[in-house]
Every structure is written in C-alpha cells, then in structure tokens.
Structure 1
C-alpha cells in the first residue's frame, strides 16, 4: 500500500508505518502526478483536494484530513468517485478552547483588568466553541452563545443550551471569540461575518479573538477600524490570505500566531489517530495503537498548589503548559520571511494541553474548578 501524507502531520510513521510505504510531501505544493498509484492520501487544511488534484489518482482508496473543517475538500467529487473520506472533528477542540482562554488571561494581565466578571460571547458553539465554553464556565464566567445553525437544527452538544443573536453578542459581550466554519453562501454565511459595519458596532474596549478562519473577519476593514479605535484589542491566530497575512495588520494585534491554536501535541495525535482508526475500519484491521502511547512525558511531573490561586498565578501555571507570548514573538519576527508562516507551523512541536500538567492540592478546600479547567491531579 502506498500512502502520501502531509509532512507536517505528526505520528504518521508511528501509526501508519506498518500498513504501507509512506511518502511525506509539502501539502501546500502537492501535485497530481504525486498521486499516481497511491492508495491513501492524508492531508491538512492547506491542501485543496479536488478534481484537479486527483486527476491522476488511479488507485485512491481513502482520503483523510486531520482537521475539523472540510472547506478544503471537494466532498461531492469524492462521493461521485466512490473514494471514502474522513476528517477529525473535535480532535483539536480542547487545544483551541484552551488557547483562547489563555489568550484572555494574557490580555487581562497586560491591561490590568480581571478576566473574571467579564461577559464572553462565543460565536460558533460546535466543538471548539464548546471547549472554550467549558473553560470559561469552569472559571465561573458568564457566557453568551451565538450559533444560528445549531439554533435551527438542534444542539447536539447540549440540548439545554440557549442561543442569542449576533447583535446581542455585540451589544453585551466584553470579549468575543470566533469559532465558526467558513461558509460563503446562504442565510448564515460566515465569510466576512464581521465586516466594517459589524466591527464598528463593537462595544468600547471589546476584546476580539479569531481562532477559526481568517476570512470570518474582513481584514482590510479590520485594519481601517482598528486604526480609528485603539480601544479594540485583537488576538488573531488566523488571517485572510494565509500564508501571507496583511503586514499592516500584524502590528495592530495584541497576540498574533500562525494558525496554531489547535496545534497541541494531544490534538495532533488525536487527529492522526482518528484517521488511522477510520482506515483500519475500511481495511477490517484491528486498531492496535492508542493516543496515549504516542505522547511524550511532560517535562514537569507535578506541581503542588497550597494557596488560593490568584488570576496571575493561574496564568503562570498555564504558561508552564503553553506560553502564548513565545509564539507571538516568533510570529512577529518571522512571518515576512520566505515561507515563514508555514515554517512556524511545521516546527510548532512544543505545545501541550492543561491535562499534561498534574496539580496536587495539598490542603485547599475549593479548587475543583482548576481540575474542571482540564488540569490533571489529585487532592491530598
């Protein structure tokens, strides 16, 4: 069996190595002739899988994308061609939720404002939006959810959740975090969901985070509005025109990263493993490898906590798992380099999730919330 996989997809060799011959490729530059006689294609969001790419794929039995979204996949063409497909919904949801939560803690520290007490509006209540909601509610914060699609179709995550219109989010939320797929047509399209008019409607001192797709915000309009409104604070992990962000936008952003909000080692391992499980099912093979076996040990075995945690202390603990400022610094100094954006993504191998760090309560009475955030540990 011949397997072609994106070179930036981790754990491919460990999971798929026994199933066939693996060729690693640059997913953004993949060409049709590279798929001749190939049985399995494993991609990420940078590869457009369509009729043109698969023109010479004469033996393809499976296409897998280690992503939540499928906007880079021509699903209709795969179906007509009888090529099984699987993505990895939810694989990096925890990572994205924790990324947004940590970013909010960082903003609170930078601007000397307590995070707790602010109202957070989450636009898009699917896997990643729900993961952020989980963090925020564990921390005791008020959350408003906007998801017109789920409101109409029914909420599969939690049938008891209530949704509000986007205008309510804009009117009431101190912080807005975006977690929607990109859709270009229809009543609920998300392409340029935040255009110049919507951006101008934001409350004074709003914090706006985008961890989904760059084009959910009109970046040209964002530049214009931000130049007029220094009160707005931005965290952008995704950019219109990736991998070439608009250079004039970057200095206007508080924290800037190269589309790596979901790039935890745990999330990457889950994504690749989900594709492995699907291929094993197609081939009627036993799944003999687990995610836990793929992950390296965390560099801190455990941390004792023996005093009430301030917000600053919570941030410092979170930084042990992931320091957002490191990626922000690297981004600002590298994104204009040749292939700088993709190089940062390829080499992003240090990020972990809260669960990697074990916190041991040595006597506090009320710390259940920190375990609900996702940290591992026990009470003594």
Structure 2
C-alpha cells in the first residue's frame, strides 16, 4: 500500500508506517502525477482535492484531511468514485479556543487594561466556538453566541442575532466555516459595512478563515478607526497576506491557532482510526503514546490569581508574542508563511500542565483559583 502524505502532517510515520510505504509531499504544490499510484492520500487544508488532482488515481481507497473544514475537498466527486473520506472535526477545537483566550489576555496586557468584565460575542458555535466559550465562561465572562444554523437545528443554547451581538459585545471572536452561497454565507461576512458597525473600542479576533473578513475593507476601517483592535491568525489570500494589513493588526500569526501538539496529534490519529476501520484492522496505537510529557508541574504560590498571573500561567504552555514577532519578520513570502507553520512544533494545550495549591502555605492559591484553572483545561 502506498500512502501519500503532506510533509507537514505530524505523526504520520508513527501511525501509518505499518500499512505500507509513505511518500511525503509538499501539500500546497501536490500534483496529479504524485498521487496517481496512491492507495491513501493524507492532506491538510492547503491541498485542493478535486477531480483534476485524483482523476488518474485509480487505486485510491481513502482520502483523509487532518482538518475541521472540508471546503478544500470535492466530497461529491469522492462519493462518485466510491473513495472513503474522513476529516477530523473537533481535533483542534481546544487549541483554537485556548488561542483566542490567550490572545485576548495578551491584548489586554498590551493595552494596559483587563479582559475581565468584558462581554465576548462568539460568531459560530461549532466545535471551536464552543471551546472558546468554555474558556471565557471559565474565566467568568459573559458570552453571547450567534449561530443561526445551530439555532435552526434546535440547539438548546441561547443565541442572539449578529447585529445584536455586535451592538453588545466588547469582543467579537469569529469561529465559522467558509461558505460562499446560501442565506448564511460567511464569505465576507464582515464586509466594509458590517465592520463599520462595530461599536467603539471593540476587539475583533479571527482564527477561522481569512475570507470571513474583507481584508481590504479592514485596512480602510483600521486606517479610519484606531479604536478597533484586531487579532488575525487567518488571512485573505493565504499564504500571501496583504502586506499593508499586517502593521495595523495588534497580534498576527500564520494560521496556527489550532497548532497545538495535542491538536495535531489528534487530527492525524483520527485519520489513523478511520483507515483501521476501512481495512478492518484493530487499532494498535494510542494517542497518549504520541505526546511527550510536559516538563514540570506548577504549584501556585499566590493567594489570588489576578489577570497578570493568569497570563504568566498561559505563557507556560504558549507564548503568543514569539509567533507574532516571527510572523512580522517572515510573512512577506509564501515560503515564509508556510515555513512558520511547518516549524511550529512547540505549543501545548492547558491540559499539558498540572496545577495544584501549595499545602500549608498562607499564600497558596484559593480553591476558587484552582477550580478556575481546572475549568480552563489545566490538569489536576
């Protein structure tokens, strides 16, 4: 069996070597010639899997995408060919939720203010939006959800209309898939007109898909309204962000919101499980076995965990400032953008770090602080 896999997908060797020969490829420049004799194709969101790519791949039995979205996959064509397909919904939801939370703590620190007390509006209440809401609610923030599709499906959570969310929220966090047609299309959901309805001093963060925001309109809005603070992990036209936009953004990263070691491993592992099912083989590998142990535990020695201390805790697993600095140095070329993503291997999730209160210490953290950290996802 021949397995063609994106060279930037982690843990492929560890999980798939037992099935046959693995050939690693550049997912962004993958050609039909490279996949024509493949039995299995493993990709990320940078690869467009369509008829043009796999028409000659007559042996292909499985296409796996280690992503949440499927907009890069011609699912209908795969069904016509009888080729099994699986993505990895939810694999990096925790990472994206934690990214949004950490990024907003960093922004508050930079601006000399507090995230505490702000109303957070989450647009898109799927896996990543729900994970973000979990973090914000664990920190005691009021969260507004907008998702007309989930609402129509009978989701029991309380939803508000997008215009109401924008009118009330101090922070707007975007977590929608990209859709170009239909009553709820998200392509340019935040166009120039909608961007200009943001209330004064709003913080806007996008870590879903770049084209959810009209980036040219965002430039014009930012040039006129410096009160709006923007954090972008995703960009229109990736891997070539609009150069004029980057200096206007408070924190900028190369589409790595979901790039925790846990999220990456989880995505590849879900595809491994699917192939095991297709081949009717017992899964012999474990997700836990793939991840390195975290270096240390953390004992809290402060009676109250203020926002500054909380940010320091978050930086133990992920320091966003490093990625922001690297991005600003290297985003100018598509090779630089992709290299930053490829080399992003250092980030962990909150669960990698266990926290506890020092026993018999007058300055040990209160039980409420510890419970808040556990609710955020830190281990016990």
Q: Smaller-chain TM-score range?
A: over 0.9
5+ long unaligned stretches in structure 2: 359-363
Aligned residue for 1:42, secondary structure, equals strand
Match of 1:99 in 2: 99
Deviations 1:199-225 (A, max 9, x none): 000000000000000000000000000
Deviations 1:282-340 (A, max 9, x none): 000111111110001213x1011132111000001100100000000000001114510
TM-score with structure 2 setting the length:
0.97
After TM superposition, list the pairs within 5 Å mapping 1:236-275 onto structure 2.
Answer: 236-275=232-271
| Counterpart contact for 2:261–2:348, Cα < 8 Å | yes
Q: CA deviation at 1:169?
A: 1.0
Q: Take 2:334 and 2:191, find their aligned partners in 1: how far apart are those partners?
A: 30
Match of 1:366 in 2: 368
Match of 2:216 in 1: 220
Q: Take 1:246 and 1:38, find their aligned partners in 2: how far apart are those partners?
A: 36
Deviations 1:163-217 (A, max 9, x none): 1000011100000000000000000000000000000000000000000000000
5+ long unaligned stretches in structure 1: none
Aligned residue for 2:196, secondary structure, equals helix
Match of 1:207 in 2: 203
Aligned length: 372
Aligned residue for 2:69, secondary structure, equals coil
| Counterpart contact for 2:122–2:145, Cα < 8 Å | yes
After TM superposition, list the pairs within 5 Å mapping 1:170-189 onto structure 2.
Answer: 170-189=166-185
Q: Take 1:234 and 1:373, find their aligned partners in 2: how far apart are those partners?
A: 24
Aligned residue for 1:101, secondary structure, equals helix
Q: Take 1:43 and 1:365, find their aligned partners in 2: how far apart are those partners?
A: 44
Q: Take 1:274 and 1:191, find their aligned partners in 2: how far apart are those partners?
A: 28
Match of 1:153 in 2: 153
Q: CA deviation at 1:111?
A: 1.0
Aligned residue for 2:288, secondary structure, equals coil
Q: CA deviation at 1:55?
A: 1.8
Q: Take 2:36 and 2:184, find their aligned partners in 1: how far apart are those partners?
A: 39
After TM superposition, list the pairs within 5 Å mapping 1:10-21 onto structure 2.
Answer: 10-21=10-21
After TM superposition, list the pairs within 5 Å mapping 1:65-214 onto structure 2.
Answer: 65-155=65-155, 159=156, 161-214=157-210
